[in-house]
């Protein structure tokens, strides 16, 4: 296998493994009523309490309609609530409930552990190389989606 095939194989398998392992790790007994995708929507909603539905949809790279469907499920399961702006009734904020905050923190802890596991395998000279490599990969994906570095 040449270097391009090797890197491609590693990236494809890594993305698939991360998605599956993350799902297994974060969908615990307490959070068995949501999906990995729901958990990422909870992450995008965040803790600020100031995210609008349109801002979350943009952050997720999905349509407002798709987000509405997903948030309906999270609201029904008591992970999130919607609040209309008092200044402009057309603006809808989405906030996490206590249950949603617990899910957010649980997901964040998984990501912290994953990141620590990688960093702990590297010496301090290797970390900047990894960061540069991952930034290059991130730039590729942003460029592929047509995003710009604004």
User: Which among 41, 32, 111, 106 has a CA at the least distance from the CA of 80?
Assistant: 41
Higher-pLDDT residue of 9 and 148 is 9
| Gap between the Cα atoms of 95 and 83, Å rounded | 8
Output the average pLDDT for the chain: 90
Higher pLDDT, 23 or 146: 23
User: What does the pLDDT look like over 19-36, one tens digit per residue?
Assistant: 888 888 888 889 999 998
- Determine contact, residues 61/144, Cβ cutoff 8 Å: no
pLDDT given at position 45: 97
pLDDT on residue 117: 93
Instruction: Report pTM.
Output: 0.81
- Whole-number pLDDT of residue 126: 96
Query: Does residue 147 have a pLDDT over 70?
Result: no
Residue 149: its pLDDT value, please? 47
Spell 61-75 as b/e; 16+ CB within 10 A means b.
Answer: ebeeeebeebbebbe
pLDDT of residue 77: 97
Mean pLDDT along residues 10-22: 87
Q: How far apart are CA 43 and CA 39, in angstroms?
A: 6
Token pair 């987000």: residue? 67
Number of H helices, E strands in the chain: 6, 2
* Strand, helix or coil for residue 149: coil
* pLDDT, tens digit (0-9, with 9 covering 90-100), for 54-103: 999 999 989 999 999 999 999 999 999 999 988 988 889 999 999 999 99
Q: For residue 95, what are the β-bridge partners? A: 81
| pLDDT confidence band for 150 (50 / 70 / 90) | very low
pLDDT, residue 103, reads: 95
What is the pLDDT at residue 90?
86
- Cα gap 126→68, rounded to integer Å: 42
């Amino acid at each position: 296998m040449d270097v391009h095939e090797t890197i491609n194989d590693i990236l494809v398998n890594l993305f698939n493994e991360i998605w599956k392992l993350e799902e297994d790790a974060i969908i615990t007994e307490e959070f068995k009523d949501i999906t990995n995708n729901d958990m990422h929507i909870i992450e995008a909603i965040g803790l600020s309490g100031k995210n609008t539905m349109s801002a979350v949809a943009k952050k997720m790279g999905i349509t407002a309609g798709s987000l509405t469907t997903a948030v309906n499920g999270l609201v029904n399961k008591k992970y999130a609530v919607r609040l209309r702006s008092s200044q402009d009734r057309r603006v809808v904020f989405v906030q996490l409930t206590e249950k949603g905050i617990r899910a957010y923190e649980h997901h964040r802890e998984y990501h912290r552990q994953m990141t620590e596991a990688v960093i702990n395998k590297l010496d301090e000279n290797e970390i900047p190389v990894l960061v540069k490599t991952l930034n290059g990969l991130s730039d590729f994906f942003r460029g592929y989606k047509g995003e710009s570095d604004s």
